[in-house]
Amino acid sequence: MNTHARSWSRWRSLAFAALSLLAPACQAERPASTMSADLGELRGAPSAEPSPPPSPQSSSMIAESSPDDEIVLADAATGARLDARPAPGRVVDLTSDDARIYALAETDDGLVLHAWPWSEAGLGNPIELGGLEGDGRLLASPWGYVVFEHAMGQRWRHVGASGPAPSRVCGRPQSLAVVHGAEAWQLEALVWNDAEDRLELARATLGSEGLSECEHGALSLPEDLSSVRLSWSDDASTRWLFGLRGSQLVAAKLDLEAHASSALVELPASSARLEAVVSLGASSAGLERYALLLGPEAKLAVVELGPSEHEQPATLGAWAEISLPGRAFERDQYFGRDLLLADGAVLAATSEGVFAIELVEAEGSLELRFRAGTEALAATRRGPVVRVEAPL
């Protein structure tokens, strides 16, 4: 066995112990410096030499899964496959940093976590990082990754260069919003408090010092609001709660004290479920623009919200929607990765594939269209879908 193979083997065994969340005594026996060294070797270790993929036609790439349970590196603009590697099972969640793509996959033994080194040349061989008891989701960052786990209690656990840190007691994120900063990220999530039978807002900070303690606070929600999702504006100046009241879709501003505006903006859509929301930035007129994935029959909607008038939290600037093939996945327990802005299009994952939708502005109105040349590939693609980006 060569030197790189030995280092990868050592990393696999150490990481498996870390992510399997074994007894603290077992973790204490592992020197932090050893884990840090292995992480360093992993960052620079050459992977298997993949066959050169076709050159992407855009400057951005995405990672997604496939109907054949693969991890796929694809061109964000066209959906063309650049490289692929088999996953150990059905892919439940994906996340990426500037060196690796992480995936949680469902197997006969439960959820397992793997990482694939990536570069413009393609994907490397997978590294097995361990298993999770119960359910979970992931978030990669410049400071390691966070596992949102639900097994013996609900916890958030940070795994950095020195291995896994003590977990933080925090609820299962049904909707997750991240405000990215150079020195730290602010994580906000909508979590369900079983004891109080209510939806709450959980907050934590992730940075070079790891993951802070999680703060929970009650939400002042409008009555009878369901399928609630949280989203910040691109400039982190405004955050909104989107939800359903009956079959009516509504939006409410959320202030810094987690009080939602009692006056709701009624939106034109009529659907049974709201599964995901993503900010699309500002329109040419300076209005806040959001994309919404509705179900159960999949539908993508885009809404523009303008400045407040007559004591209302905002005004409805414009609205557009388009029906998508298939059904939207229900995201009752955890947030999903079924909606993404990439290379000027909104990517929406449904039961029938991943569809690229472009937004066209004309004389003050909005129109949604399938991106030309991408529909033939849509059925060969599956969510979850995430951006894959090199460091600036």
Which pLDDT does position 40 carry in this prediction?
Answer: 32
Q: 16: helix, coil or strand?
A: helix
Q: Does pLDDT of 34 surpass 70? A: no
- 299 phi-psi bin (left φ>0, alpha ψ -120 to 50, beta other): beta
Across residues 266-270, what is the average pLDDT? Answer: 77
Buried b vs exposed e over 153-173: b needs ≥16 C-beta within 10 Å?
ebbbbbbbebbbbebbebbbb
> Strands across the sheet with 70-75, in order?
81-86, 70-75, 61-65, 382-388
Which pLDDT does position 45 carry in this prediction?
Answer: 33
pLDDT digits (tens, 9 = 90+) for 60-114: 899 999 999 999 999 999 999 999 999 999 999 999 999 999 999 999 989 999 9
Report CA-CA distances (Å) from 254 to 260, 265, 392: 4, 13, 32
pLDDT band at 196 (very low <50, low <70, confident <90, very high): confident
* Distance from C-alpha of 259 to C-alpha of 194, rounded to nearest angstrom: 20
Which amino acid is located at 386 in the chain? V
| Residue 165 covered by a domain | no
Across residues 249-269, what is the average pLDDT? Answer: 78
Considering 98, 132, 166, which residue would you say is the last residue of a domain?
132
Q: How many residues comprise the chain?
A: 392
CA 295 to chain centre: 19
Specify whether 229 is located in the same domain as 351: yes
Which pLDDT does position 166 carry in this prediction?
Answer: 93
* Distance from C-alpha of 139 to C-alpha of 29, rounded to nearest angstrom: 27
Helix and strand totals (H; E) in the chain: 4, 31
Radius of gyration (Cα) for the chain, nearest Å? 21
* Distance from C-alpha of 102 to C-alpha of 60, rounded to nearest angstrom: 18
Report CA-CA distances (Å) from 139 to 94, 157, 185, 218, 368: 8, 10, 11, 24, 30
Which pLDDT does position 43 carry in this prediction?
Answer: 33
| Residue 246 covered by a domain | yes
Across residues 166-189, what is the average pLDDT? Answer: 94
* Distance from C-alpha of 262 to C-alpha of 207, rounded to nearest angstrom: 34
Considering 132, 147, 177, which residue would you say is the last residue of a domain?
132
pLDDT digits (tens, 9 = 90+) for 17-33: 344 332 222 333 322 22
Which pLDDT does position 107 carry in this prediction?
Answer: 94
| Residue 383 covered by a domain | yes
CA 320 to chain centre: 24
**Percent above pLDDT 70 for the chain:** 82
pLDDT band at 183 (very low <50, low <70, confident <90, very high): very high
Which pLDDT does position 316 carry in this prediction?
Answer: 81
Which amino acid is located at 381 in the chain? R
Which pLDDT does position 313 carry in this prediction?
Answer: 61
Which pLDDT does position 263 carry in this prediction?
Answer: 66
Across residues 330-353, what is the average pLDDT? Answer: 93
Considering 108, 132, 156, which residue would you say is the last residue of a domain?
132
Least confident residue range of 41-50, 186-195, 346-355: 41-50
Specify whether 93 is located in the same domain as 236: no
Which pLDDT does position 293 carry in this prediction?
Answer: 96
Which amino acid is located at 296 in the chain? P
Q: Tell me if 199 sits within 8 A of 228, measured CB to CB.
A: yes
Strands (E), 133-197: 135-141, 144-151, 153-160, 163-164, 168-169, 173-180, 184-193
Q: Does pLDDT of 185 surpass 60? A: yes
Which secondary-structure segment (H or E) carries 215? strand 215-218
| Residue 175 covered by a domain | no
Specify whether 97 is located in the same domain as 243: no
Strands 273-282 and 288-295: antiparallel
Using the structure block, give the residue that is written with the tokens 């997978």. Answer: 126
Closest CA to 366 of 279, 276, 289, 313: 289
Q: Tell me if 218 sits within 8 A of 259, measured CB to CB.
A: no
Q: Tell me if 339 sits within 8 A of 383, measured CB to CB.
A: no
| Residue 74 covered by a domain | yes
| Residue 96 covered by a domain | yes
| Residue 294 covered by a domain | yes
State the pTM of this model: 0.83
Specify whether 2 is located in the same domain as 128: yes
| Residue 84 covered by a domain | yes
Across residues 196-203, what is the average pLDDT? Answer: 90
Which amino acid is located at 163 in the chain? G
Strand partners, 193: 198
The CA-based angle 69-329-281, given to 5 degrees, is 100
Strand partners, 187: 178, 204
- Number of folded domains in the chain? 2
* Distance from C-alpha of 284 to C-alpha of 302, rounded to nearest angstrom: 14
Specify whether 234 is located in the same domain as 90: no
Task: Look up the domain containing 326 and give its range.
Answer: 219-392
Across residues 315-342, what is the average pLDDT? Answer: 90
pLDDT band at 53 (very low <50, low <70, confident <90, very high): very low
